[in-house]
Amino acid sequence: MKVLLVYPNIVESPKDMSIGLGIISAMLKEKGHKVELIDTTFKVSDDEIIDKVDQFNPDLVAVTAATNDLQNAIRISQIIKETKEVPIICGGYHATVAPKDIIDQDCFDMVAIGESEQSLIKLTKDLNNTKIPNIWFKKGKKITKNEIGKLTEDLDKLPFPDREIFNYQKYIDSNRGLATFMSSKGCPFLCSYCINKVLIDKYKGKGKFLRFRSIDNLMKEMKEVITKYKVKEIEFYDDTFTINKQRLRDFAKRYPKEIGLPFYINARVNAVTKEDFKLLKEAGCVRVSIGIEAGDPYIRNDILKRFQSNKQIIDTFQWAKEEGLRTYSFNMIGVPFETQESIKKTIELNRKVQPDYVGISIFNAFKGTELYDICKKNKWLKDKASASYFQSSNVNHPNFTIKELKKIRDSFGFEVYKNADKKRAYIDLIDKKLTKVPLYTKTRSLLIEKGIKKLIEK
């Protein structure tokens, strides 16, 4: 069978492939299917989409979509449907949390919920079989809804993602030489704005949610990737890389000998210790990203359900620094119930912590989450058309206009650094202005340097 995959990515920076579609491509190829890809990451014209459908003439189209990509996924699927009457299935994060949004669209015939790669393989055996777990089928007005299947128990059984289909070197090069991996799936915490809590509820009784690949399996994939591509650095996308201590020790022992490239991870306050940072540093880790999210304990714990004290946050950053790791803090503004005062507290906590990099985004409510429901109940949600999850928000905040939030976001880093390190503060200010210049490019560094010079001259 010929399967056309669609990655409707609209992320300008950082650009990255879809690991999910990569796994699906590898599985389909293992079964002898012909697979091709439409990937909008590096811009594809409508004519090119039409040409691809004409030339490849697929029997099935498989689209992935996170919430941000949904409108682009619909647009591309409509073009495909107009070009050829071919069945189209859509899966991914949005399909999993809101399958009705997908099946309600004329362009989609099926929706795949959750970890549904095996279900897709079943579908390729018989496109008329409507009794496949994880999949909803639409035939005219009739919708057949099958139950969600079990979670993949052993992640080592999944094939390595097919990176070749994405022309992966192009991604690495646009991402300062970075290759990305996931060594686990799931997160045990229950933050009220995050997809993980939604997934935990959906998968109740369907297997263990937090799962780890073996270090053997991970090393094998990394070796393959660094042999095949020119890679300078590695990033692990795991939500909490340090949660399994034995595995962390095994990893730290083997990574420097077998891979040896600088790497980045995400860690969570309460799930990481000073000892973990020591191990990570010895293994070659250069930076850890840690969520602060909100400096006001009421917003952080009562609203976001993160359950961390200011002291725990300050200590965690301190430990990382003591072990010689660079730190990055994730923060949000415009969270429901937030006020000017609570945002000041987020700036204040970041000032105390002084991370090497400060990340700031405007809160967006994602379907299925507790905070989405609260926003909906309070009529704070914008209609679909005005929702842009990137530079903006889908929430009409009662205390701030979006213009005010953007202004706070753009000067957030400056406020954090201005007393401790003026130059760093100005770098952040200029950085925020360069919205149209891709990250990690020489042009960006040059423009920042030029901007700093100008400011110093002034």
Provide the binding-site residues for ligand B12, judged by CB under 6 A: 9-11, 14, 16, 18-21, 23-24, 62-64, 66-69, 89, 91-94, 97, 112, 115-117, 120, 182, 194-196, 237, 239, 361, 366, 389-390
- Nearer to ligand B12 by Cβ, of 42 and 390: the residue is 390
User: Which does residue 189 bind out of ligand SF4, ligand B12, none, counting CB within 5 to 8 angstroms by kind?
Assistant: ligand SF4
Binding mask 336-355 for ligand SF4 (x = CB under 6 A): --------------------
Residue by residue, DSSP assigns 393-434 as -SB--TT--HHHHHHHHHHHHHHHHTTT-HHHHHHHHHHHH-
Question: Quick one: tokens of 359?
Answer: 């990340």
- State the nearest-atom distance from the C-beta of 304 to ligand B12, in Å: 13
Q: What minimum distance in Å lies between the beta carbon of 52 and ligand B12?
A: 17
Nearer to ligand SF4, 40 or 289 (CB): 289
CA gap 126, 55 in Å, rounded = 23
Dihedral sign computed on CA atoms, order 230, 235, 236, 241: positive
**Dist CA 391 CA 428 (whole Å):** 17
Are 391 and 435 spatial neighbours (Cβ–Cβ below 8 Å)?
A: yes
For the record, the structure tokens of 83 come out as 């070009």
Instruction: State the binding partner of 87 from ligand B12, ligand SF4, none, CB within 5 to 8 A by kind.
Output: none
Q: CB under 5 to 8 A by kind: which of ligand B12, ligand SF4, none does 268 bind? A: ligand SF4
Looking up tokens 């933050």 gives: 191
Instruction: Output the smallest distance, CB 184 to ligand SF4, in A.
Output: 11
Residue type, 69: D
Using CB distances below 5 to 8 A depending on partner kind, what does residue 327 bind out of ligand SF4, ligand B12, none? none
Note whether 191 binds ligand SF4 by CB under 6 A: yes
User: How many chain residues touch ligand SF4 (CB under 6 A)?
Assistant: 7
Residues in the chain: 458
Query: In this structure, what token pair is assigned to residue 323?
Result: 């072990």
- Is residue 194 at the binding interface for ligand SF4, with CB under 6 A as the rule? yes
CA distance 35 to 221: 21
| Residue 330: CA count within 13 A, CB half-sphere | 13
Closer by beta carbon to ligand B12, 111 or else 448:
111
User: Which residue shows structure tokens 């920042």?
Assistant: 448
Member of 196, 318, 339, 396 binding ligand SF4 (CB under 6 A): 196
User: What secondary structure does DSSP assign to 108-148, as a single string?
Assistant: -SEEE-SS-HHHHHHHHH-TT----TTEEEEETTEEEEPPP
From candidates 137, 168, 181, 189, binder to ligand SF4 by CB under 6 A: 189
Angle, CA 384 vertex, CA 382 and CA 385 arms, to 5°: 100
269 binds ligand SF4 (CB under 6 A): no
Binding span for ligand SF4 by CB under 6 A among 8-16, 45-53, 145-153, 184-192? 184-192
Q: Is 187 in the site for ligand SF4 (CB under 6 A)?
A: yes
C-alpha to C-alpha distances, 252 to 183, 205, 218, 272, 316, nearest whole angstrom:
13, 33, 13, 15, 19
Q: Which of 200, 447 has the CB closer to ligand B12?
A: 200
**Binding site partner of 115, from ligand B12, ligand SF4, none, Cβ cut-off 5-8 A by kind:** ligand B12
The binding site for ligand SF4 (CB under 6 A) comprises 187, 189, 191, 194, 196, 239, 268
